[in-house]
């Protein structure tokens, strides 16, 4: 299957057009300004010296700006913006200006600790280069110019020399994966074999004995515990892990390496069947921001870094290009409407690093000796943080969201995600009209180029959440996709993916969810907030047999749900323990999209609720 780049998808309205507009008009500027406030942009002038007033650059600042550059390029690709382009060009100028004659570029390891170049595996130099490469590829797509790639090409040559040819570097593979997927992305736009070879070198070297250097469980933290082809479970730091798995999927695609594909499939199953929150969040523990053991999904202490949801979406999106199976695009969709956008405030200015599935504000005062900043879970989004990887990851994710929607190969067009759009496919223009995810009615048309004589098939994903669906044309079902034969001319179709309020149970082994249900409507996960329902949400019990009310709420830009529910009265006689159920009273639960929680002040919140 041949992936289609996002640049060929034009989102014409609806949920994602609104998000992209907010991203373009507010978020990209807000992230820019916070990065400027904190000295990240100025760091590219290489003026920091010991004792100077400037903030000392951190060794991952290059990557923060790189993701901002990539986001800006993605935006410019769809909506020309000369001012924004000038800002991007200015940073590229600075990179070119301050690059060492040998091609090396890294702010921290030039102005702060130059003696540590390629000496510390955990110092993110290759991670930063990876993000710069992704930005350069996006810049090329947006502008048609190879300039940024050409600048970085010299650095890539230096890396090949230091790591592959002369092995002067003090380590063999990066402590934080990212460069691997970036090199393959670069290879796809400039098919120079050296890029793919370097990516394969890093993949092949990882987990060899000498790389098992981490101080945590023999290298699990950065997936160096086993050679990548022998890995079968998701382990360690969840962002590192999913960037690696994305690169493995890319490599399997480019090389046809079956062992990599097998590893990717097993890891994907391990994540999605045992280690993924219903929101799509992964990395349940704050210790190491890591995957833990199967079914270990605590809700209030859920870590769920926003970047990890993005990284899993990347991995799933790549898997869909390796194998026809709707569950890959299902996971992308789960991240789109839940795991990733929970990380962004509705006003587009603030971000969660962690994304809990339950907040009980009482926890924040149970230990008077713990300072407010150290308390879990986090309850409010912030505009910028010390380790501010998530904000520019969200901006690039939203700017490039169309890229997940459509793909094609020599015989067919595949519609994976539903949004109003037009897309140029090898067989002609694909048009989609829909209010999705407000409802599941979708009009699809493929204006095939009749002159070509080709009669492409059209594959339309049947989402995993959908139990009742109808199509206006004959179809067969293949691996979760409805398959339509076209006649090589204009082909039109109406799909009705019937949405109803569904109460999900977790597998019995997911301890934190035992006896509870989570509410979804279509792809959107819901939650209860105290601001609507009062606190003590663990006492709120949904009536599964009620007829839920669905209504559009313009504040959330989404449906809200109302359900009959029950609340317990306080126990009589102030008894802490009593032998019968205390009196209950009927109430109405108001549920809002999970992604919209914490937009109306600090509030208790719960995704998993009890049943009456």
Catalytic residues: 289, 389
Q: Tell me: does residue 359 bind its own copies (CB under 8 A).
A: no
Selected from 141, 143, 285, 431, the binder of its own copies by CB under 8 A is: 285
The minimum distance between CB 555 and its own copies, in angstroms, equals 28
- Minimum distance from residue 119 beta carbon to its own copies (Å): 24
CB of 492 to its own copies, least distance (A): 32
Our CB check for its own copies shows the closer of 340 and 518 to be 518
Nearest to 566 by CA among 550, 581, 578: 581
Find the DSSP H helices in 3-60. 14-22, 28-37
Q: Which is nearer to its own copies, 449 or 536 (CB)?
A: 536
For the record, the structure tokens of 482 come out as 């409805």
Cα–Cα dist 393/344, whole Å: 11
Considering only residues 508 to 547 of the shown chain, the ones binding its own copies according to CB under 8 A are 508-511, 514-516, 518, 536, 538-539
CA atoms of 487 and 349, how far apart (whole Å) = 47
Window of 33-41, 88-96, 280-288, 371-379 that interacts with its own copies by CB under 8 A: 280-288
507 is a site residue for its own copies (CB under 8 A): yes
Token digits for 82? 């000369």
Q: How far apart are CA 607 and CA 519, in angstroms?
A: 8
> Locate tokens 């540590």: which residue?
116
Nearer Cβ to its own copies (49/467) = 467
- Joined together, the tokens standing for residue 271 give 């994540």
Binding residue for its own copies, selected from 86, 372, 451, 574, defined by CB under 8 A = 574
Among 36, 170, 259, 365, binds its own copies (CB under 8 A): 365
Of the candidate residues 50, 51, 115, 287, the single one contacting its own copies (CB under 8 A): 287
Ramachandran sector of residue 279 (left: φ over 0; alpha: ψ -120 to 50; beta: rest):
alpha
Nearer to its own copies, 341 or 519 (CB): 519
Q: Given the rule CB under 8 A, which of 33-41, 304-312, 364-372, 587-595 is the region that contacts its own copies?
A: 364-372
CA distance 467 to 438: 17
- Candidate list 87, 122, 296, 383; residue touching its own copies; CB under 8 A: 296
Shorter beta-carbon distance to its own copies: residue 74 or 539 = 539
Residue among 61 and 481 whose Cβ is closer to its own copies: 481
Q: Considering only residues 80, 191, 582, 601, which one is a binding residue for its own copies as defined by CB under 8 A?
A: 582
Q: How far is the CB of 407 from its own copies (least distance, A)?
A: 26
Q: From residue 56 to residue 85, what is the string marking binding to its own copies with x (rule CB under 8 A)?
A: ------------------------------
| Residue 576 is a binding residue for its own copies (CB under 8 A) | yes
Task: Out of 67, 274, 320, 349, point to the residue binding its own copies (CB under 8 A).
Answer: 274
> What does residue 136 show for φ and ψ, rounded to 5 degrees?
-65, -35
Piece of the chain touching its own copies by CB under 8 A; list 144-152, 378-386, 471-479, 500-508? 500-508
- Least distance in angstroms from the C-beta of 322 to its own copies: 20
Rounded to whole angstroms, the Cα distance separating 520 from 299 reads 17
Let me know the angle formed at the C-alpha of 158 by 155 and 160, rounded to the nearest 5 degrees: 115
- Out of 186, 413, 506, 527, the only residue in the binding site for its own copies (CB under 8 A) is 506
Q: Does 503 bind its own copies (CB under 8 A)?
A: yes
Q: Taking CB under 8 A as the rule, does residue 601 contact its own copies? A: no
Complex with its own copies: residue 53 or 581, whichever CB lies closer: 581
The structure tokens 């919209």 sit at 596
How far from the centroid of its chain's Cα atoms is residue 461's Cα? 20
Please report, for residues 286, 355, 469, the alpha-carbon distance to residue 377 in angstroms, rounded to integers and kept in the order given: 10, 8, 39
Place of tokens 């045992």: 274
Is residue 469 a contact residue for its own copies (CB under 8 A)?
no
Three-state SS for 98?
Answer: helix
Query: How far is residue 464's CA from residue 491's CA, in Å, rounded to a whole number?
Result: 25
Cα angle 103, 109, 114 (rounded to 5 degrees) comes to 90
> Residue 241 interacts with its own copies (CB under 8 A)?
no
Alpha carbons 451 and 454: distance in angstroms, whole number: 8
Core vs surface per residue 112-132: b (16+ CB within 10 A) or e: beeeebbeebebbbbbbbbbb
Pick from 304, 306, 360, 379: which binds its own copies (CB under 8 A)? 360
Instruction: State the SS3 of 52-93.
Output: CCCCCCCCCHHHHHHHHHHHHHHHHHHCCCHHHHHHHHHHHH
Distance CA 309, CA 525 (A): 15
Q: Which is nearer to its own copies, 268 or 491 (CB)?
A: 268
Asked if residue 579 binds its own copies (CB under 8 A), the reply is yes
Q: Do the Cβ atoms of 389 and 59 come closer than 8 Å? A: no
Q: How many residues does the chain have?
A: 612
- Residue from 578, 586, 588, 602 in contact with its own copies (CB under 8 A): 578
Total binding residues toward its own copies, as defined by CB under 8 A = 61
Report how far residue 391's alpha carbon sits from residue 383's, in angstroms, rounded to the nearest whole number: 8
Copy the structure tokens of residue 580.
């019968």
Which range binds its own copies by CB under 8 A, 246-254, 255-263, 317-325, 362-370? 362-370
Q: Smallest gap, in angstroms, from Cβ of residue 579 to its own copies?
A: 5
Residues 200-239, interacting with its own copies (CB under 8 A): 215-217, 220-221
- The Cα–Cα gap between 496 and 441 comes to 5
368 scored as a contact of its own copies (CB under 8 A): yes
Q: Does 385 engage in binding with its own copies (CB under 8 A)?
A: no
Pairwise CA distance, residues 371 & 375, whole Å: 7
Q: Provide the minimum distance between the beta carbon of 231 and its own copies in the complex, in angstroms, as a whole number.
A: 15
For residue 349, the Cα-to-chain-centroid distance in whole angstroms is: 18
Residue numbers at the binding site for its own copies (CB under 8 A):
215-217, 220-221, 269, 272-274, 276, 278, 285, 287-288, 290, 292-293, 295-296, 360, 362-363, 365-370, 467, 502-511, 514-516, 518, 536, 538-539, 567-571, 574-582, 610
């Amino acid at each position: 299957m041949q992936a289609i780049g996002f640049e060929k998808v034009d989102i014409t309205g609806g949920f994602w057009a609104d998000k992209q507009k907010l991203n373009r008009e507010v978020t990209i500027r807000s992230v820019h300004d916070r990065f400027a406030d904190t000295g990240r942009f100025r760091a590219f002038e290489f003026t920091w010296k010991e004792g100077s007033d400037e903030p000392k650059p951190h060794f991952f600042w290059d990557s923060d700006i790189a993701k901002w550059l990539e986001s800006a390029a993605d935006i410019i690709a769809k909506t020309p913006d000369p001012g924004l382009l000038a800002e991007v060009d200015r940073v590229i100028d600075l990179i070119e200006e301050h690059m060492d004659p040998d091609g090396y570029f890294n702010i921290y390891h030039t102005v702060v600790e130059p003696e540590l170049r390629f000496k510390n595996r955990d110092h993110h130099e290759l991670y930063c280069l990876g993000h710069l490469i992704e930005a350069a590829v996006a810049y090329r797509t947006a502008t048609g110019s190879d300039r940024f790639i050409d600048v970085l090409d010299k650095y890539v040559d230096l890396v090949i020399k230091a790591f592959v040819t002369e092995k002067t570097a003090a380590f063999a593979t990066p402590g934080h994966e990212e460069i691997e997927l970036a090199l393959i992305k670069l290879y796809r736009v400039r098919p120079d074999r050296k890029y793919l070879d370097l990516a394969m070198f890093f993949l092949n070297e990882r987990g060899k004995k000498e790389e098992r250097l981490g101080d945590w469980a023999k290298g699990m933290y950065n997936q160096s515990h086993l050679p990548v082809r022998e890995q079968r479970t998701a382990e360690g730091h969840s962002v590192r892990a999913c960037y690696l798995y994305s690169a493995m999927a890319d490599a399997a695609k480019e090389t046809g390496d079956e062992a990599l594909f097998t590893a990717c499939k097993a890891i994907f199953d391990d994540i999605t069947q045992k280690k993924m929150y219903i929101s799509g969040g992964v990395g349940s523990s704050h210790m190491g921001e890591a995957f833990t053991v199967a079914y270990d999904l605590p809700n209030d202490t859920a870590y769920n870094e926003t970047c990890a949801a993005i990284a899993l979406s990347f991995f799933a999106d790549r898997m869909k290009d390796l194998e026809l199976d709707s569950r890959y695009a299902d996971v992308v969709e789960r991240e789109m409407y839940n795991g990733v956008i929970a990380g962004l405030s509705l006003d587009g200015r603030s971000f969660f690093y962690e994304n809990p599935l339950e907040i009980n504000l009482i926890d924040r005062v149970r230990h008077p000796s713990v300072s407010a900043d150290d308390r879990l879970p986090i309850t409010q989004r912030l505009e910028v943080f010390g380790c501010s990887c998530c904000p520019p990851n969200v901006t690039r994710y939203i700017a490039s969201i169309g890229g997940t929607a459509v793909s094609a190969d020599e015989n067919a067009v595949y519609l994976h995600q539903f949004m109003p759009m037009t897309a140029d496919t090898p067989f002609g223009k694909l048009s989609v009209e829909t209010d999705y995810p407000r409802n599941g009615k979708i009009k699809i048309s493929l204006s095939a180029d009749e002159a070509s004589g080709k009669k492409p098939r059209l594959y339309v994903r049947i989402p995993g959440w959908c139990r009742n669906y109808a199509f206006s044309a004959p179809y067969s079902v293949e691996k979760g996709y409805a398959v339509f034969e076209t006649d090589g001319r204009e082909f039109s179709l109406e799909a009705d993916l019937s949405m109803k309020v569904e109460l999900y149970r977790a597998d019995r082994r997911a301890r934190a969810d035992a006896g509870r249900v989570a509410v979804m409507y279509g792809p959107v996960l819901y939650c209860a907030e105290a601001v609507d329902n009062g606190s003590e949400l663990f006492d709120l019990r949904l009536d599964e047999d009620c007829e839920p009310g669905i209504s559009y709420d313009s504040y959330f830009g989404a449906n809200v749900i109302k359900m009959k529910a029950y609340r317990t009265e306080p126990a009589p006689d102030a008894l802490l323990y009593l032998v019968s159920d205390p009196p209950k009273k009927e109430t109405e639960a108001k549920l809002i999209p999970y992604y919209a929680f914490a937009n109306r002040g600090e509030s208790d919140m719960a995704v998993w609720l009890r049943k009456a």
